[in-house]
Structure 1
Amino acid sequence: MAYRPNYTPSVQELRALVSCGDLGSVSRAADALNLTQSAVSRSIRALEDRLGVQLFHRVRKRLHLSDAGRAMVHDARAILAALDRSAKMAMTFGKGGDVLRLAVLPTFAATWLIPRLPAFFALHADLSIDLASALHPVDFDESPFDAAIQRAVMARKDTEVMHLLDEKLIMVASPSLIAIGQTLSHPELASYPLIQLATRPKLWNDWLQNEETPPIVRLQGPRVQHFDMVISAAQAGLGIALLPAIFAEQAITAGTLHQVHPRMLNGPTPYALIRPQSRVDSAAMDAFAVWIKTAAQA
């Protein structure tokens, strides 16, 4: 078998590289890593010798990254971060029960799922859940997630989609902007800023085109990226918002928002539990699926 040289750096070499690149000094890097200066110097020297490139320029006792060093530090930082995440994830398996890794739309998690999780854990105290925010379709081949909770349209091929909740959009505002009990007519909307969702820019147009009166030609109001920002902006009195009723539920109960128009707009696609077909044989995930389906129907 032909000899293949091993160019792969050790974790200690990567840590030394990143620290020296960030701090510009072997002594400072040694202090940060709780190592001796000679250990850090040996790691850098061994890495340069093995790769055959100079990773640093030494100028007046300062270390300056070379082009090769700069490129490698960028990748090394990502590798170390990934290892750290992997180690922390592995630690969760020491809890003695199954861990469900879920990718969830952040506003769905904050306003609907998390407030209901105590009921799930009351039934399944041996299970743990790791939640991660996911605004884009999940590629289960490239991610560690067991399932995703997203809009059904975001499901990729080779997944199973279980309907949870239809999206019903309602118009809400803060009592500081519109008095409780007051409802708005279509013409009155033109007098108020309309909070717009940048990731779904057609929401207001979809609502307005169903009205029998002439549309508002130009929408005016703040534009934000996510529904949680829409909620905060509306609570601050920055304008009127269109929100899925399930997202507005907590704020309406708390009195920080109220519905200012009686009509609901049906969203184009429901919220769903999305599971990869390659990982459907999981008793823990099945238990979660049964629970969340029941919670959604309550």
Structure 2
Amino acid sequence: MRRKIPNTTALAVFEAAARHGSFARAANELCLTESAISRQIAALEHYLELKLFTRVKRQVILNDMGRAYLQNISKSLADLEAHTLSLMNNKGNDGVLELAVLPTFANRWLMPRLRSFQSRHPNITINMTEKPLPFLFQDTQFDAALHFEHPSWTGVAKVDLFEERLVPVVNPAFFDVSQLTAPEDLLRIPLLHKSTRPEAWRHWFELSGQDARGTSALGIRFDMYGMIIEAARSGLGAGLVPRFYVENEIHRQDLIIPFDIELRHEKRYCFVYPEHKKDSRLVQLFCDWLLERKQEFNAAPAASRERKGKTAHL
């Protein structure tokens, strides 16, 4: 059956005219004459059998139907353009992997390691889009996701990566760390909370043997760990963040871990992809690479503990 889709040129002209609120400015953007814009809009209105603009003397004003249509087609046009450019830019390549990622996880863990995948597979392009919450793969362009384990994931294959290990961090430039001799001393510092994990600090204090009732009500709340890390660096308080997110800050001593007590099992990271992608070569190549990085990552803390033990022994 023939699809009921208007001419894409007319749609692009309508989107530009509606966005600018002017046929003249749309004509300037699209390098067309104003009369050409008017003809395309008239042809689209004829096809739809309704008016999209109200003509008032020499002005055109987007009406309610036009506003609704603009809202509905704008994303579709943007997606069509993105997919077209992706295909054009990757001619002769092995393919494009569309990956959904947790924002801070991608910035702090994935990016520093991704060059090794590019070196191994230079003809594979990875496009990444931030998705802070679990989602349904149906009706999305994503091939896979690097995310956390959650009951919302259904009809997918999940590859376990590693657990999250939360540690407290403070900036020694703003707080006298010599006064932090026991975990309860952190209660004298403003606590920085993740909005979706309001009880994390309470759990950490309980793990360290402290009565932490009421700590979830203290301090500023943030949506993402990246914001907590920057807040801690800026001296706003003590953050409780995944250890691997602050590797560079700890190395530079922008932040320190005053008490090396890890809160574990709060969250597990995983690689997720829909069942129908299990035979995808790109998905499996990326999955294999991730499992190698997982092995390296999980081995690193043990090696670090061994080095510390040797140093202490000496």
TM-score clears 0.5: yes
The share of aligned pairs that are identical, in percent, is 32
**Residue identity opposite 1:178 in structure 2:** F
Q: Secondary structure at the match of 1:250?
A: helix
Provide closer, same or farther for how the CA distance between residues 81 and 154 of structure 1 changes in structure 2, counting only shifts above 3 A: farther
Equivalence map 1:209-228=2 (5 Å)? 209-218=206-215, 219-228=217-226
Report the counterpart of residue 35 of structure 1 in structure 2.
Answer: 32
Give 1:16's match in structure 2, choosing from 13, 18, 24. Answer: 13
Moved more, 18-27 or 71-80: 18-27
Q: 1:181 to 1:133 in 2, by over 3 A?
A: farther
Cα separation, partners in 2 of 1:162 and 1:15, compared to 1, 3 Å: same
The CA distance in 1 between the partners of 2:88 and 2:62, in whole Å, is 35
Matches of residues 1-298 of structure 1 in structure 2 within 5 Å?
A: 8-153=5-150, 156-179=153-176, 183=180, 185-218=182-215, 219-298=217-296
| Residues in 1 aligned to 2:40 and 2:245: alpha-carbon distance in whole angstroms | 52
| AA partner of residue 34 (structure 1) | C
In the superposition, relative to structure 1, how do residues 180 and 128 fare at CA in structure 2: closer, same or farther (>3 Å)? farther
* Distance of 1:118 and 1:155 partners within structure 2: 31
Contact 2:52 2:65 in 1 (8 A): yes
Aligned pairs, how many?
A: 295
Q: Distance in 2 between matches of 1:259 and 1:266?
A: 16
C-alpha contact (below 8 Å) 2:179/2:185 kept by paired residues:
no
Aligned partners of 1:13 and 1:223: how far apart in 2?
A: 47
User: Could you tell me how far apart the structure 2 residues matched to 1:122 and 1:26 are?
Assistant: 48
Encode CA deviations 1:177-223: one digit per residue, 9 max, x unaligned.
23466645343222211111113222223223334332252533221
| 8 A Cα contact 2:180 2:186, kept in partner | no
Contact 1:7 1:51 in 2 (8 A): no
Q: Do the aligned partners of residues 226 and 154 (structure 1) sit closer, same or farther apart at CA in structure 2, a change above 3 Å counting?
A: farther
CA deviation vs aligned residue, 1:152-175 (integer Å, no higher than 9, x gap): 226622222111111111001112
Go from structure 1 to structure 2 and tell me whether the alpha carbon gap of 1:255 and 1:276 turns closer, same or farther (over 3 Å shift). same
**Which structure is higher in helix share?**
2
CA contact (8 A) 1:171 1:241 kept: yes
Corresponding residue SS for 1:190:
helix
RMSD value, Cα: 2.3
Gaps of 5+ in 2: 297-314
Distance 2:257 2:44 in 1: 63
- Cα distance in 1 between the residues matched to 2:119 and 2:51: 58
Superposed displacement of residue 274, structure 1: 1.3
Which amino acid is the alignment partner of residue 23 of structure 2?
Answer: V
